[in-house]
């Protein structure tokens, strides 16, 4: 890792190509949103790269530039999009089917979205069970499929004129799998690709193809993709930044807002019951117990890691935490998430908190996609490689170095993100100590 003095950030010249496995609700809302913002039809609400400022120096210095002016990020006009899906619908058709954005708005960005035709996907119905589509690569070993993806990547690079690429997984959640011997080393993994090892999932094949092609990779879903020794080895060897996993939106976002606050005041918690109804394709895939299990893992781990019951047994040891997701088509992408939180205070007296969050999943996820691709591209140009823990802010299950527990508290994550940007630019880190104001 270079020291702050030696971080050289290459300029964001030329176009940045965004490659997306999964042309569904999230990715089309993201792309349509970028096109709308470019035309002055909307504001990129929820995006730090577009709206947030960063404080530099002392509070009395009054120096708070926009993040986008402080670090060299690709501009929205320089983004070009491509992707893969098992369905042949263009991004315009997929966005219309997803019914997240109003038809009148979609119509205004029809042209650029219609031009995005998904490339044939690498798909395996053992990994995503509830859906099936015709736009799938046929034949060959898993290594051959990786080769075909690498060809797609190079063709996109040429046809789009992009000078740099980033890949972000926005496809369906794959079924729960644990790392297997085939994931131990890059050599084992490549051998497994050639032998069609069933433990290698499509998302791992996309990630492998991206890293081999020198393309940074982010995982927006909870499936086991790059958090494997084999792919970490490849990322380090090729000096490519990666991050994941599972966008932190909706209910888990609320959890990481509230739980650190309750814990900060040393309030106890005996139960947290979360249930959701959602009716989009994501909800349909999550009806499958294998895919739900993958999601449940990242959703459940958050509280345990925030509350640290091993350090505070009298407050959190007996916490009962449950998460349910119910597929309910009438709501489409407009999810409803209920939380019942049983807490206790002074002398153990019980209290309850109820949350009813009527949210829009893809509206919350789209700005995260934008920030992640821009920051990953920045990381690549700054020579940062491997796991980008400073991007934990965006994920339910942040990747960390092996053996290191992830930080879930969103305010610590934000501080880490901003301090990383300050570090990149050689600015003083902000510790919030503040003694200098009282000298």
Ligand X SMILES: NC(=O)c1ccc[n+]([C@@H]2O[C@H](COP(=O)([O-])OP(=O)(O)OC[C@H]3O[C@@H](n4cnc5c(N)ncnc54)[C@H](O)[C@@H]3O)[C@@H](O)[C@H]2O)c1
Smallest gap from Cβ 21 to ligand X, in A, equals 4
Is the Cβ of residue 68 or residue 408 nearer to ligand X in the bound state?
408
CA 385, 391, 394: angle at the middle one, nearest 5? Answer: 145
Q: Report how many residues bind ligand X under the rule CB under 6 A.
A: 35
Is the Cβ of residue 339 or residue 427 nearer to ligand X in the bound state?
339
From CA 7, how far away is CA 383, in angstroms rounded? 8
Residues between 107 and 126 that touch ligand X (CB under 6 A): 121-123
Interaction of residue 128 with ligand X, rule CB under 6 A? yes
Interaction of residue 149 with ligand X, rule CB under 6 A? no
CA 56, 62, 66: angle at the middle one, nearest 5? Answer: 55
Residues between 192 and 221 that touch ligand X (CB under 6 A): 202, 220-221
Locate tokens 């807490």: which residue? 343
Q: Cβ neighbours of residue 384 under 8 Å, at least 6 residues apart?
A: 1, 241
From CA 93, how far away is CA 99, in angstroms rounded? 10
Q: What does the per-residue mask of binding to ligand X show for 340-379, with x meaning CB under 6 A?
A: ---------------------xx-xx--------------
Tell me the two tokens of residue 70.
């402080």
Is the Cβ of residue 87 or residue 375 nearer to ligand X in the bound state?
87
Cα dist. 20→24, 164, 282 in Å?
10, 14, 16
Residues between 9 and 28 that touch ligand X (CB under 6 A): 21-26
Residues between 65 and 104 that touch ligand X (CB under 6 A): 84-87, 98
Torsion of CA 286, 169, 48, 215, to 10 degrees: 170
Interaction of residue 254 with ligand X, rule CB under 6 A? no
CB-based contact 120:134 (threshold 8 Å): no
Residues 139-149 as b/e (b if ≥16 CB within 10 A, e otherwise) read eeebbebbbbb
Smallest gap from Cβ 213 to ligand X, in A, equals 17
Tell me the two tokens of residue 140.
């060959």
Is the Cβ of residue 203 or residue 420 nearer to ligand X in the bound state?
203
Q: Which residue in the shown chain puts its C-beta closest to ligand X?
A: 24
C-alpha closest to that of 407 among 387, 385, 437, 425: 387
Query: Which region, judged by CB under 6 A, interacts with ligand X, from 36-44, 156-164, 280-288, 321-329?
Result: 280-288
Site residues, ligand X (CB under 6 A): 21-26, 84-87, 98, 121-123, 128, 131, 133, 170-173, 202, 220-221, 246-247, 249-250, 280-282, 361-362, 364-365
């Amino acid at each position: 890792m270079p020291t702050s003095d030696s971080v050289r950030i290459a300029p964001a010249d030329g176009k940045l190509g965004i490659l997306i496995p999964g042309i569904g609700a999230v990715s089309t809302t993201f792309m349509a949103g970028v096109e709308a913002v470019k035309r002055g039809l909307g504001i990129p609400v929820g995006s730090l790269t577009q709206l947030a400022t960063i404080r530099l120096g002392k509070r009395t210095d009054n120096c708070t530039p926009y993040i986008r002016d402080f670090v060299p990020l690709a501009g929205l006009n320089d983004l070009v999009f491509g992707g893969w899906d098992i369905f042949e619908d263009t991004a315009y058709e997929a966005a219309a089917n997803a019914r997240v954005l109003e038809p009148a708005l979609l119509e205004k960005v029809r042209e650029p979205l219609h031009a995005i035709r998904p490339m044939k996907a690498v798909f395996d119905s053992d990994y995503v069970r509830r859906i099936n589509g015709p736009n799938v690569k046929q034949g060959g070993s898993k290594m051959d499929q990786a080769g075909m993806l690498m060809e797609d990547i190079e063709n996109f690079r040429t046809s789009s004129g992009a000078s740099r690429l980033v890949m972000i997984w926005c496809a369906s959640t794959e079924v729960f799998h644990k790392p297997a011997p085939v994931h131990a080393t890059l050599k084992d993994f490549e051998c497994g690709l050639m032998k069609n090892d069933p433990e290698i999932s499509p998302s791992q094949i996309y990630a492998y193809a991206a890293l081999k092609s020198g393309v940074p990779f982010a995982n927006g879903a909870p499936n086991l993709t790059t958090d494997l020794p084999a792919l970490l080895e490849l990322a380090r060897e090729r000096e490519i930044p990666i991050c994941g996993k599972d966008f932190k939106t909706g209910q888990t976002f609320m959890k990481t807002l509230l739980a650190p606050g309750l814990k900060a005041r040393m309030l106890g918690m005996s139960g947290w019951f979360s249930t959701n109804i959602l009716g989009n394709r994501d909800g349909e895939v999550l009806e499958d117990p294998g895919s739900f299990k993958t999601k449940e893992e990242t959703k459940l781990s958050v509280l345990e890691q925030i509350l640290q019951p091993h350090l505070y047994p009298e407050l959190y040891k007996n916490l009962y935490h449950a998460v349910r997701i119910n597929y309910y088509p009438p709501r489409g992408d407009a999810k409803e998430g209920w939380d019942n939180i049983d807490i206790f205070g002074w002398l153990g007296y019980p209290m309850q908190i109820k949350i009813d969050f009527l949210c829009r999943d893809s509206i919350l996820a789209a700005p995260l996609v934008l920030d992640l691709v821009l920051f990953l591209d920045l990381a690549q140009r700054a020579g940062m490689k491997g796991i980008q823990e400073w991007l934990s802010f965006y994920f339910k299950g942040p990747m960390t170095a092996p053996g290191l527990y992830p930080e879930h508290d969103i305010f610590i994550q934000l501080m880490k993100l901003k301090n990383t940007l300050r570090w990149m630019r050689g600015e003083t880190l902000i510790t919030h100590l503040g003694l200098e104001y009282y000298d």
